[in-house]
Structure 1
């Protein structure tokens, strides 16, 4: 599965001011099986499309490694509430509940950053995910 590079929303929303703070989320998912990874990969484009139209979204990216059954997501939001509204909306809500059945491991990390840091790099996301996992 090719990476889906950082994409900004298509919904008519103003870009954040460079000095504004954005709420960032990075996640890492590992599926139990290759079939689970294929299912995750097939559902991913719908979620990325949903983010592109989600109120409060400032951008998102996906890195998928089907062969190793691992996926990374990265997104930036105008607020924590905007992210949570997205997570509770369809199709994300249903897809994430269904994915729980074939997920081996999941990790999440959240932080704020100046909008001028967008797009957030994969290196930064992976560093923060590793630090979060080291805490446990």
Structure 2
């Protein structure tokens, strides 16, 4: 899997306490569908960097079994929910609706010291809800 480095959006000295982690596996209906998903992911990265409550994020791409993996950490479940229902994210969900097969998501809490989650844990969390 190809991935971008974890981007921390909370200063290191503020990184204590418990965070909400959300992972998603987005599977395009065809290989051609990877491109629009990656374009939206690239557009989201700078938005996440300035979104209140976002603590960090990364994306990974599996080209063998086409999927885009999204991982983000939040200061609270409320902050995650606000982003999920926000304008740009809502637009992405509408735009990608016809491109994506049903996606799989997992959400859990973890201490600051466990960020970023390892890719093995991300896969295990998704497998547990699949």
SS in 1 for 2:128: helix
The answer as to 2:14 corresponding to 1:15 is: yes
TM-score (norm 2): 0.90
Structure 2, gaps ≥5 residues long: none
**Cα deviations across residues 45-82 of structure 1 (Å, max 9, x unaligned)?**
11111111110011001001345321111111011110
1:109: which partner in 2?
A: 106
2:3: which partner in 1?
A: 3
Q: Name the count of aligned residue pairs.
A: 130
The answer as to 2:2 corresponding to 1:42 is: no
* 1:14 positional shift: 6.4
Poorly superposed stretches of 4+, deviation over 4 Å: none
1:57–1:76 contact (8 Å) kept in structure 2:
yes
**Cα deviations across residues 15-40 of structure 1 (Å, max 9, x unaligned)?**
232xx111011110111022211111
TM-score (norm 1): 0.86
Structure 1, gaps ≥5 residues long: none
CA RMSD of aligned residues (A): 2.0
* 1:55-94 to 2 correspondences below 5 Å: 55-66=52-63, 68-94=65-91
* 1:105 positional shift: 2.5
Partners of 2:24 and 2:83 in 1: CA distance: 15
* 1:25-36 to 2 correspondences below 5 Å: 25-36=22-33
The answer as to 2:94 corresponding to 1:97 is: yes
